[in-house]
Amino acid sequence: MAEKIGEHLLAVGRSNVGCVRPLNEDSFHIDSGTGLLILADGMGGHDAGEVASAHVVLEVTERVRQFMDTSPDLLPEERGGAVGDLEGDLQEQATLDDLPNPVLMVVREALLAVNADLNRINRERGHAEDSGMGSTVVGLWSPPKTAHPVVFHVGDSRLYLYQGGRLQQRTRDHSLYQQWLSFGGKGMPPPQNILLQAIGPSRIVTPDVQFLPVSAGDTVLLCSDGLTGMVTEEAIQGVLSELTSDNLDSLCDRLITMARDGGGRDNVTVILGHFI
């Protein structure tokens, strides 16, 4: 059953172990009180990837809750009121560098803090830098009184925006393969699963945090690579073309089934958020 998040967002999520892995190392949470949708894909196998992903989801959620409980006056006032008015003055996405906003800073500081936590645990267990348990993370935060949802991510879990009949990837993977593409894709492509950033293995992490202009009728898809590795973007777009306010649950289930039918080589987690 889809959850109502504030006045303008319906959300539903699913996670499945897939067809090959013995353990589900993905975690997700939909927090109706704060307007937070968050998904994490753990890595590390015997080094407890499931612990890392659960820790990321829990700690980021708690820090967002604490901010809203203790500093509600720092939330910027909503401009324009309705979701349908959001496109006005943010046609170009604002980033941390050009818009110092408390909402953006809360997310960034939460991600830096949870990275420090997991990295400390890795070092205490004797792991060298860039090793040990870790996790990707992707999320969308749509707090009360703010007109513009915030998107954040580290790693290769993705957020897509389905808008005007077209699926758009709105996060860029922190992976060696994406770097290869960005530099022109010359020579032999590297493996697609080598990450340049994740939460935990390294002392230093640089999260991507930005505003996402949306309108009523838009849908966001947050997913682990267990979906995108098994299902084409064209097929995902086809599923989302059928979306209504009443069928988020069934379409979420269908995406999970499609990933399993495609081989299910990884855990798969999906969150759908529909703006109304």
Write the CA distances from 270 to 91, 132, 208, 249, 261, integer angstroms: 27, 25, 20, 11, 15
Predicted TM-score (pTM) of this structure: 0.90
pLDDT in tens, the chain (276 residues): 899 998 899 999 999 999 999 999 999 999 999 999 999 999 976 678 999 999 999 999 999 999 999 877 767 655 433 333 333 333 344 444 454 688 899 999 999 999 999 999 999 999 999 999 999 999 999 988 777 899 999 999 999 999 999 999 999 999 999 999 999 999 999 998 899 999 999 999 999 999 999 999 999 999 999 999 999 999 999 999 999 999 999 999 999 999 999 999 999 999 999 999
- Give 128's DSSP letter: P
Q: Per-residue b/e over 224-234, b at no fewer than 16 CB within 10 Å?
A: bbbbbbbbeee
Asked whether 51 and 134 are in contact (CB, 8 A), the reply is: no
CATH 3.30.43.10 fits 3-275, yes or no: no
Asked whether 40 and 28 are in contact (CB, 8 A), the reply is: yes
Where are the chain's structural domains? 3-275
How many other β-carbons are positioned within 10 Å of the β-carbon of residue 138? 27
Cα(262)–Cα(257) distance, integer angstroms: 8
Which is nearest to 41 in space by CA: 139, 150, 174, 134? 134
